[in-house]
Amino acid sequence: MFGTITLLPLLFLLLLRHPSPVSSQSTSSQTPLLAIDFPDPAILLDSSGTYYAFATSSGVINIQAASAPSPSGPWTYLSQTDLLPDGPGPWTAGPGSQTWAPSVVELAPQKYVLYYSGQLSGNNSAFHCVGAATASSVLGPYTPLAEPFACPLDEGGAIDPSGFLDPVSGKRYVVYKIDGNSLGNGGSCNNDVSPIVPTPILLQEVDVDDGITLVGKPVKILDRDEQDGPLVEAPDLWWDGEGGQYVLFYSNHCWSEPGYSVNYATSPKIGGVYEKAGEPLVATGDGANVTAPGGASSLPGGEIVFHGFCGDGRCLFGLGIAGGGEDGVVRVEGVYS
């Protein structure tokens, strides 16, 4: 997924590779929870009882933040906060570069890990890899690791990390996307011209105490098919306790087009195989009334936030969800506004 780009030459290249964003004439009419450009949101309930949301870079801010007393708001944009004030790390293009799709987990009181997608430097600046950073406060400042957390550059790099603590096993995981469409052959999100490049979702176990040390090798749990268009991305795991199943939220099609949507797949085992649902959870033109919804992030209690186009860019939206159906269906319980 693509965040705010501050370097004009890079912006020009991206516009050549990707279609124009959704027209402002077709943007969402649902009232956003946060009416600013806040793409690829991640939500966290802190041990303090405050809800936080984090988003892709904007201008000089590498990772944006907002807070609220409940998932439905009211949300306050923390305009003076940057989780990575000194930049996303020495392996990246540095402060002000494209830093996308953050995820924050609280390991213990005063112990946090931030996962994010960092733009590589030099000749590899067209690619991103997954980074990790640590802090003693939920809002940072976070100190990046010296090396990427995951960087399969020969496969196109990696983006869209999301942390997950499995309530069944007590193990900790990170899911992320192999950014294969960065190696694509053109068209929608650079990957609808044959041969189509895979964009699989991987599951990586990590040490439960530090959230960083890798445990074993990553496992592929999902990939695109013809119905998904050029890609699947933005993975997020949720445990449906009533249904006894793991739910993998993901987005498909292209972020800049109306077909972009929030989808899900389910599995009785965290390592898959995940079975895709027949219909999107949230799509352009449905009851949520959001244009090009995507980048969903969930809470254990059954709340998700996601972005959708509005007059200010990709704004923050949210809704309640419920599982537990005999057919494994995840249902929308209510739209936040």
Domain assignment present for residue 117? The answer is yes
Confidence of residue 228 (pLDDT cuts 50, 70, 90): very high
User: Could you identify the residue written with the tokens 């590899």?
Assistant: 124
- Which pLDDT score, from 0 to 100, does residue 72 have? 97
Confidence of residue 22 (pLDDT cuts 50, 70, 90): low
Domain assignment present for residue 27? The answer is no
pLDDT over 80 at 60, yes or no: yes
Domain assignment present for residue 219? The answer is yes
Per the structure block, which two tokens stand in for 201?
Answer: 């979702």
**In 67-154, which ranges are continuous DSSP H helix?**
none
- Which pLDDT score, from 0 to 100, does residue 312 have? 87
Q: 3-class DSSP state for residue 231?
A: coil
- What is the C-alpha to C-alpha distance for residues 116 and 163, in angstroms, rounded to an integer? 10
Q: 3-class DSSP state for residue 124?
A: helix
- Which pLDDT score, from 0 to 100, does residue 21 have? 57
The pLDDT tens digits for 211-222 are: 999 999 999 999
**In the chain, which ranges are continuous DSSP H helix?**
8-17
Phi, psi of 144 (to 5 degrees): -70, 150
What does the DSSP 8-state code read for residue 335? E
Confidence of residue 27 (pLDDT cuts 50, 70, 90): confident
Per the structure block, which two tokens stand in for 325?
Answer: 């159906």
pTM, to two decimals:
0.93
- Which pLDDT score, from 0 to 100, does residue 325 have? 75
The widest CA-to-CA distance across the chain, in whole angstroms, is: 52
Domain assignment present for residue 69? The answer is yes
| Domain span including residue 54 | 8-16+37-336
Q: What is the CATH number of the domain that holds 77?
A: 2.115.10.20
Confidence of residue 10 (pLDDT cuts 50, 70, 90): very low
Q: Choose the weakest-confidence range: 79-88, 231-240, 261-270, 321-330.
A: 321-330
- State the average pLDDT over residues 105-130: 97
- Which pLDDT score, from 0 to 100, does residue 6 have? 33
Cβ atoms of 145 and 132 within 8 Å: the answer is yes
Confidence of residue 5 (pLDDT cuts 50, 70, 90): very low
- Which pLDDT score, from 0 to 100, does residue 196 have? 97
Domain assignment present for residue 288? The answer is yes
- State the average pLDDT over residues 2-23: 37
Residues annotated catalytic, as ranges: 40, 233
Phi, psi of 155 (to 5 degrees): -105, 0
Distances (CA, A) of 298 to 74, 187, 218, 314: 18, 31, 22, 18
- Which pLDDT score, from 0 to 100, does residue 328 have? 86
Domain assignment present for residue 136? The answer is yes
Percentage of the chain beyond pLDDT 70 is: 92
Q: How many domains does the chain have?
A: 1
Domain assignment present for residue 140? The answer is yes
Domain assignment present for residue 42? The answer is yes
Confidence of residue 156 (pLDDT cuts 50, 70, 90): very high
Confidence of residue 331 (pLDDT cuts 50, 70, 90): very high
Higher-confidence residue of 21 and 137: namely 137
Phi, psi of 11 (to 5 degrees): -60, -40
Phi, psi of 260 (to 5 degrees): -60, 135
pLDDT over 90 at 154, yes or no: yes
Cβ atoms of 138 and 194 within 8 Å: the answer is no
Task: Tell me the average pLDDT of the chain.
Answer: 92
